[in-house]
Amino acid sequence: MKIFIRFFSITLGISVISFLMYLRLIFHSYNETVRNIGLYSQLRQEPVNVDLLVKYTNLESSPSKATTIRKYVKLEYIRLMSTSNESNRDMSSIFRNPWKQNVSNLEKMRSDLKEIVHTEMSLTRRSVKKSKKFKSRISGIVTTNKKFYNLLTDYSPEQTVYKRCSIVGNGGILNGSKCGNEIDKADFVIRCNATPIGRFKEDAGVKSNNLTTLNPSIVTRRFGSIRTGNQQSKFVDKMREYTNYIWFPSFFSRATYNLAIKVNDLLNRKLKSVKFVHGNPNHFQEIGKYWLNKGLRNSLSTG
């Protein structure tokens, strides 16, 4: 009898723990979906669409789960709205005040960076031997070859100090801003992820003769890894929007290293107006360490 009671107690305990873990898994699985749909509804100034969430997460076939999620969504949306409103108030209070450079904070940031960052953003022939090993972000060690070395430039764009720079992301926040002229006044313009220029010149400027970053996913998804002649032609036509430096994170993985050589070789043959530069993985790691010391564990997004 004692053995039976002990067995029953253990079984009951395991069942309770399993049920609690199941509930946690349900709520955690749909948490990001709830946030995204709730945020989308805020941006459109509409109430959260719970039916959309139920349909999106394939819960229509399970009424009991759908009811549970509906209740959870309403509570989560209220919390999300409250958090968002607080953030909006904080942001509005910041933008009500005229911008003023904080010299002491600027000098502190420069000092902190100098302590951690000892490499340049781009690789050059003088910084790389003909065969060198680099640690990629996701694929372990990548060893460069002679062909890669011969493709490197002799000069890195960040070796010059500029008085005024503009950094233009690709998140769409500049739409309708009329900031184009102000951006173009800079001595050096950095554009992220090869954003279109021509049709957004009024908001984002047209100056493109400095440095443009190129995300590997643009080459793989939009241009099929430039496998065919047609894909290569379309890619080169796209790159004609830019002049001077195209910066590429060549050591994200072994695959991006091979793709970087392919893209670099193509642009050298077909487009003389740009210089292809390869990102320095050691610099990326040092910058990551700097932000980690500031409490930021996730990578910053250029989008």
3-12: pLDDT as tens digits: 444 444 555 4
pLDDT 10s digits, 222-279: 999 999 999 999 999 999 989 889 999 999 999 999 999 999 999 999 998 899 999 9
pLDDT digits (tens, 9 = 90+) for 31-74: 444 444 444 344 333 444 445 444 444 444 555 555 655 555 55
- Helix (H/G/I), strand (E/B), else coil: 113: helix
| In a shared domain, residues 134 and 264 | yes
Q: For residue 122, is it within any domain?
A: yes
Judge if 115 and 208 occupy the same domain.
yes
Instruction: Please tell me whether residues 148 and 235 are part of one structural domain.
Output: yes
Is residue 14, in this structure, part of any structural domain at all? yes
Do 211 and 167 form a contact (C-beta atoms < 8 A)? Answer: no
Report the domain count for the chain.
2
Q: Which of 35, 69, 96 is the last residue of a domain?
A: 96
Measured distance CA(4)–CA(71) in Å, rounded: 39
- Torsion of the alpha carbons at 201, 204, 208 and 212, rounded to the nearest 10: -140
Question: How far apart are alpha carbons 216 and 193 in whole angstroms?
Answer: 9
> Does residue 301 lie in a domain region?
no
Q: Are residues 110 and 251 in the same domain?
A: yes
Tell me which of 53, 76, 96 is where a domain ends.
96
Which residue type occupies 218? I
Name the domain boundary from 45, 65, 96.
96
Domain extent, residue 182, equals 106-293
CB hemisphere CA count around 256 (13 angstroms): 25
Angle 52-303-209 (CA atoms, 0-180°, nearest 5)? 145
Q: Are residues 151 and 267 in the same domain?
A: yes
Both 35 and 114 in one domain: the answer is no
What pTM was computed for the model?
A: 0.67
